[in-house]
Amino acid sequence: MKKKLFFSTGLALCLCIAFISSAQANYFDKTTSLGQYRVFYKSPSPATCEAFILGVGTAMSRDSYDNLAAAMSNYGYVVVVMDHQPGSMTKTDATKYKNCVIEVQNNILGWVSGTGITSIANWILGGHSAGGQAAQNAVSANPWLADAIFSIDPYNCSGAGNVSVPALYWGFNVTTCFVTQEDAAEAGYYGSMGERAFYRVKKIYSWGPCGYSPKYYHCSFADGSCPACTNCMYTPSTFYTDIAKSVNKFINAAFYGTWSKANLTVSTTTPTELFVDGDQP
């Protein structure tokens, strides 16, 4: 069962200690004229680390992905959950996504001053749903913006631009929340021209308060489902743990080891199948 968040606010920043899925994570909120950000980090942090910037999905906000961001930051990564269109229901604007990413890249070391982080090794961009589409188009048009892609069921990527950096996607073998499975993570995978990997969650239905519905679906990444789209069940904490494990494997294979399916494979509690490079989902 998910635990409540407990936080205290300071004058300049909201510095928060969150207890999420039984794991402790540190984060603070930052708001600028361009966007809203929630920055997760491990304490103590490594001096040099990878930084993830994840754009939020339709009608979502920076506080919608605490469980996932916390699980990833436990590996020593900085994870920025970014609302690049605050106040707007839609989140597909690639230009606003790009501008917010540049703001984060220019300011993150100042924002995390005092955590022990002094440099960023690689920038990994992506997002959930509409935020994932914005990331795909932003990196396609501006390849210098990212060292890699990590997106979680990006919405309607069938018409998005191609990317050439290493890419990892998580998605589903079921259509939910008006997101067609072939146009989401699968399309992002096919739109990646470099090293690529796709973890697809198998279709499993179970009985719950909403009746017979998918156990894992498009909004399982979010902490409390999405507006007007839910299976009325909590996402198992192991789902976030499995994603974080795969992300860590991805980073090691892409930047510090050898890229291969074996080196990208993790044992997951979540029923998944992995596709790499030439594999056809």
Tens of pLDDT, residues 38-86 = 999 999 999 999 999 999 999 999 999 999 999 999 999 999 999 999 9
Query: 11-276: what fold?
Result: Rossmann fold (3.40.50)
CA–CA–CA angle 1, 237, 189 (5° rounding)? 145
> Quick count: other Cβ atoms within 10 Å of Cβ 250?
24
CA dihedral 275, 143, 106, 127 (to 10 degrees): -30
Question: What pLDDT shows up at residue 6?
Answer: 27
Domain boundaries, the chain: 11-276
**Which residues, given as ranges, of the chain have pLDDT below 50?**
1-23
Using an 8 Å Cβ cutoff, are 123 and 132 in contact? no
Q: The whole model's pTM is what?
A: 0.90
Question: What pLDDT shows up at residue 168?
Answer: 98
Tens of pLDDT, residues 108-127 = 999 999 999 999 999 999 99
